[in-house]
Amino acid sequence: MNRHFLACAALFALAGASHAQSGVNIYGVLDTNLGWGSGSVSDNKQVGTGGLMGSRLGFRGTEDLGDGLKANFVIEHGLNSDTGMQASPAPGLFWNRLAYVGLGSRFGDVNLGRQYTPTFLVHATYDAFGPQGVAAQQVLLGSMEFAQPASIRAANSVSYLTPNTLGGFALTAMVSANEGSPTGGKYTGLSLTWQGGSLSTTAAFARYYNPALDDLDAFTLGARYSFGAFTLYGLYDRANSGNGPDSHGVQVSGTYTVGVLDLKASIARSVLKSPGGVEIGSTQRAGVGFVYNLSKRTALYGQYAHLANSHGAAAAVNGAVTGPNEGANGVDLGIRHAF
Reply yes or no on whether the pLDDT at 3 is more than 50.
no
- How many helical (H) and strand (E) elements, i.e. helices and strands, does the chain have? 3, 17
- Residue 180 falls inside a structural domain: yes
CB atoms within 10 A of CB 83: 11
Collapse the DSSP code of 146 into the 3-class scheme (helix H, G, I; strand E, B; otherwise coil) and give the result.
Answer: helix
- Residue 3 falls inside a structural domain: no
The domain of 219 spans 40-338
Please report which residue ranges of the chain form alpha helices under DSSP H.
3-18, 118-125, 138-141
One DSSP character per residue, 272-318 reads: EE-TTS-EEEEEEEEEEEEEEESSSSEEEEEEEEEEEEETT-----T
- Residue 134 falls inside a structural domain: yes
Residues 6 or more apart whose Cβ sits within 8 Å of residue 117: 150, 151, 152, 153, 154, 157, 174, 187, 189, 206
Query: What is the separation of C-alpha 24 from the centre of its chain, rounded to a whole number of angstroms?
Result: 24
What is the pLDDT, as a whole number, of residue 4? 44
Confidence of residue 21 (pLDDT cuts 50, 70, 90): low
Q: How far apart are CA 147 and CA 214, in angstroms?
A: 14
- Residue 211 falls inside a structural domain: yes
Task: Please say whether the beta carbons of 252 and 128 come within 8 A.
Answer: no
Please report which residue ranges of 50-99 form alpha helices under DSSP H.
none
- Residue 266 falls inside a structural domain: yes
- Residue 31 falls inside a structural domain: no
Task: Please say whether the beta carbons of 248 and 226 come within 8 A.
Answer: no
Comparison of pLDDT for 253 and 181, the residue scoring more? 253
Buried b (16+ CB within 10 A) or exposed e, 163-192: eeeeeeebebbbbbebeeeeebbbbbbbbb
What is the total count of domains within the chain? 1
Between β-strands 216-227 and 199-208, what pairing exists: parallel, antiparallel or unpaired? antiparallel
What is the pLDDT, as a whole number, of residue 264? 98
- Residue 8 falls inside a structural domain: no
For 52-107, write each residue's pLDDT tens digit: 999 999 999 999 999 999 999 999 999 999 999 998 766 678 999 999 999 999 99
For 141-187, write each residue's pLDDT tens digit: 999 999 999 999 999 999 999 998 888 999 999 999 988 777 767 99
What is the pLDDT, as a whole number, of residue 178? 84
CATH number of the domain at 164, please: 2.40.160.10
Q: How buried is 194 (Cβ within 10 angstroms: 0-12 exposed, 13-18 middle, 19+ buried)?
A: middle
Reply yes or no on whether the pLDDT at 15 is more than 80.
no
CB atoms within 10 A of CB 289: 25
- Residue 56 falls inside a structural domain: yes
Of 205, 126, 200, 123, nearest to 168 (Cα)?
200
